[in-house]
Amino acid sequence: MDTIKFDTSVNYERLISDKSVNYAFSQNLCKVNINKIVNYAKAIKAKNFVQVGIGGSALAASAALSFLQKGAQEKNYFCLDNIDPQRLDTVLKLDPKQTVFHVVSKSGTTIETLSQLFVIKQHIKNPNIVISTDDRDTFLRAFSVKNDYEIFDIPTDVGGRYSAFTSVALLPLAFFGYDIESYIEAAKQVVRDTRGGWGFPIDLANLVVSTYDRCKVFVMFAYKDRLYEVADWFRQLWAESLGKNGVGQTPIKTLGTTDQHSQLQLYQEGIKDKLIVFLDTISNVDFTIAESFEPFNYLKGKSIAKIMEIEKQSTRKALDEVQVPTAEIFLENINEATLGAFFCSLMITTAKVGEFWKINPFDQPGVELGKKYTKERLQND
């Protein structure tokens, strides 16, 4: 896999050597019905795509579209995850004939998603709705059958935050014309390569577990705007998968260079409890400073991308000098294959770290209590 480069300044131990990848999300890669999704997406006559879902039912789609964005698009993407009436209002004001709602809930019971679906249904006459939900019976499935909505199945054993290779993200990607076949193929290749000894997913897992005594915080320092939502996707994967039984590592997303001027002081001189992983990719647009302005003459001939690169390298050097462990993941292309490879790699890393810590990286029992209290309050209010 030559599109992802990984390097670290840390001499870490190889505590994990198992390179098997027998997980539901990886096995599902061979079962996806690409043609059905592409054909359905092509037939959608709309220019607005609204993803109605939260957590794993939204983050991969939003991250993927943000990473792959090609500048001005004729089509628009909206995401109703946070249940904020103001955001819902914006979406309800869109031309319904030009809008498709992709309502996603693995469990089919998430209050934020269902509430917004009910409001959409009530405000718009014959809204164009398509559903992704668990392939077992869920409330959402029954509701969709009753209302004659098209349904895409999310395999039962593929959890929400591991669903980047199901219709949850594939349908929006296909709607915006992205090549979901090469996205999935690259993920399959990561599975094969990892089994065959390719390093990145297992190396990153080893870096995490061997520095964990000291590093209880994982900072993903995204150095391009298009990677910020990718870091957001990673936060859920890392937090919900690994935060249990009294262990876990707090994932933080940070934007370089913006957060050099906001968070770096803490990383440099504050408590040394962080592993800082720079995430970067190429710039496919750039601007060079042609004139000389005293006393900033040294900027003449430098491009904005070059300045950003030098800032990243200098920030990393400064952190290395005070023994803050750093690493960098560099995505060499902005395309579907690189993204598919990256998502799959990080899922493998997460599963491996979970196994090493002897926790189940695929469940999330800790979110249930808050949900129970919410339901009780809503029922009794």
Ligand X SMILES: O=P(O)(O)OC[C@H]1O[C@](O)(CO)[C@@H](O)[C@@H]1O
Catalytic positions are 240, 261, 371
Q: Take residue 111 and report the two structure tokens written for it.
A: 């209050």
Q: Beta-carbon neighbour count of residue 214 at 10 Å?
A: 13
In whole angstroms, how close is the CB of 263 to ligand X at the nearest point?
27
Piece of the chain touching ligand X by CB under 6 A; list 52-60, 63-71, 144-152, 279-287: 52-60
For residue 203, give the nearest of 340, 21, 349, 332 by alpha carbon.
349
Q: Count of residues binding ligand X (CB under 6 A)? A: 14
| Integer CA distances (angstroms), 80 to 117, 163, 211, 318, in order | 10, 18, 37, 40
Contact residue for ligand X among 26, 57, 116, 345 (CB under 6 A): 57
Say how many CA atoms lie within 13 Å of 304 toward its Cβ.
Answer: 8
Give the span between the Cα atoms of 189 and 92, in whole angstroms: 41
Of 189 and 364, nearer to ligand X (C-beta) is 364
Residue number with CB closer to ligand X (1 or 154): 154
Q: Which of residues 228-247 bind ligand X (CB under 6 A)?
A: 240
Cβ atoms of residues 304 and 290 within 8 Å: no
Q: Looking at the chain, which runs of residues are DSSP E strands?
A: 4-8, 48-52, 76-80, 99-105, 128-134, 150-154, 217-222, 250-255, 274-281, 326-331
From the list 41, 52, 54, 353, which residue makes contact with ligand X (rule: CB under 6 A)? Answer: 54
Burial of 303 (0-12, 13-18, 19+ CB in 10 A): middle
Sheet with 250-255, side-by-side order of all strands: 4-8, 326-331, 274-281, 217-222, 250-255
* Least spacing, CB of residue 84 vs ligand X, in Å: 16
Q: Interface residues for ligand X in 126-185 (CB under 6 A)?
A: 160-161
Choose between 113 and 335: whose C-beta lies nearer to ligand X.
Answer: 113
Q: How far is the CB of 40 from ligand X (least distance, A)?
A: 20
Decide whether 218 or 233 has the Cβ nearer to ligand X: 233
Q: Shortest gap between Cβ of 55 and ligand X (angstroms)?
A: 3
21-50 positions binding ligand X, by CB under 6 A: none
Amino acid at site 261? H
3-state secondary structure of 361: coil
In the complex, the smallest distance separating the C-beta of residue 315 from ligand X, rounded to whole angstroms, is 32
Near ligand X by CB under 6 A: residue from 266, 282, 310, 367: 367
CB of 119 to ligand X, least distance (A): 16
Build a one-symbol-per-residue string for 77-116: x at contacts with ligand X by CB under 6 A, - elsewhere: ----------------------------xxx--x--x---
CA distances from 1 to 19, 263, 280, 341, 349 (A): 15, 33, 17, 8, 15
The structure tokens listed for 308 are: 């950003």
In the range 4-23, which residues lie near ligand X by CB under 6 A? none
Tally of residues, the chain: 381
Residues 237-296 that bind ligand X (CB under 6 A): 240
Q: Does 55 bind ligand X (CB under 6 A)?
A: yes
Q: Which stretch binds ligand X (CB under 6 A): 55-63, 145-153, 251-259, 285-293?
A: 55-63
Contacts of residue 264, Cβ cutoff 8 Å, sequence gap at least 6: 315
Residue nearer to ligand X on the CB measure, 54 or 88: 54
Binding residues (CB under 6 A) for ligand X: these are: 54-57, 105-107, 110, 113, 160-161, 240, 364, 367
